[in-house]
Amino acid sequence: MTTTEAETDTDLTRARRAFRDDLVDAGLLIPSGIDGLYGRGAVFEDVISGIDALVVAAGAAAHGTEPKRLRFPPVFPRESFEKTDYIASFPNLTGAISTFTGDNKAHRALLADRESGSDWDHHLESAGTMLVSAACHPSYATLSGQLPNGGALLDVYGYCFRHEPAVDPARMQAFRMHEFVQVGTPDQAQRHREDWVPRGLQVLADLGLTAVDVPANDPFFGRAGKMLAANQLDENLKTELVVRIYGDLDDGTALVSCNCHRDHFGETFDITTSDGEVAHSACVGFGMERIALAMFATHGLDLSGWPASVHSRIPR
């Protein structure tokens, strides 16, 4: 296992490595040779299914059948990605996709480089697509134009990619996020974010997890990013539901994120309310792998020892 991040040998790093080793030994995660990329064993997937059933039930209790269920593949058009502005704020987390578009001769040149042990990426061209960084990103392009009265409410669930190799199993490069997204007036968006904080805490409580809600900021890149992060905190745009997987060695791990985007996506994706104003948006995102990992850290790696009220929620 190559650790590409500079992680010093602190108590926290040791705790993270020990947790990962235990998860791998138990067959819950399958190492790939790269930090943050794992296969999932059968029991891990069953736990994910159990968590998702609770997330779905919370969505139904809050919104009935109103949310439009959409599922997107892990890849989406560069053109939509550009509108998220993610490359400006989180360039180091992105995944751009390239492919080979040449002829026989160009292919022979690629294979010759490969044969000689050289890098062969310069033989590739952009495929016009990007990996999805947040489950909701591909959904905004479907809303361009004027929203009906009441706005739009979406249920999206899919794989996300973030290039941040780390020893901590809770910081994966590829993970699933289940989101409920509200697009509409500033009030609707604000209320969506606020109402989902207690609902998210209840989902975690039902899984036997003790979470707290804390103001948070995204890891904006670079010097300009510091200002954006401070601004996000100041304006109280992001609330995270946090569980202490590693005790008091750190400030805890964010399992659920409740976000106000203001008019960011409304502006770049040309979405307007029924009144013709630029639409605001907000989302709640459940980090499925992180919730599962918090459950294993809290209840143990062997499901047979889990509290009955939690164990009964896991299928099979």
Residue ranges binding a second copy (CB under 8 A): 30, 32-34, 37-42, 44-45, 68-77, 79-80, 82, 87-88, 91-104, 107, 110-111, 114, 119-121, 124, 126-129, 131, 138-139, 141-142, 159, 161, 163, 172-175, 221-223
Q: Which of 85, 81, 73 is nearest to 129 (CA)?
A: 81
Q: Say how many CA atoms lie within 13 Å of 226 toward its Cβ.
A: 2
Query: CB of 36: closest distance to a second copy in angstroms?
Result: 10
Select from 246, 108, 223, 100 the least CA-distant residue to 168: 246
State in angstroms the smallest separation of the CB of 25 from a second copy: 14
Q: Which two tokens mark 81?
A: 């990605």
The minimum distance between CB 24 and a second copy, in angstroms, equals 11
Of the candidates 139, 136, 152, 115, the one whose C-alpha atom is nearest the C-alpha of residue 274 is: 152
172 vs 295 by CB, closer to a second copy: 172
CB of 102 to a second copy, least distance (A): 8
Burial of residue 87 (CB within 10 Å: 0-12, 13-18, 19+) is middle
* Residue 68 or 264 having the CB closest to a second copy: 68
Residue 188 CB coordination number (10 Å): 21
Q: Which residue has the tokens 């969506």?
A: 192
In the complex, minimum distance from the CB of residue 45 to a second copy, in angstroms, rounded to a whole number: 5
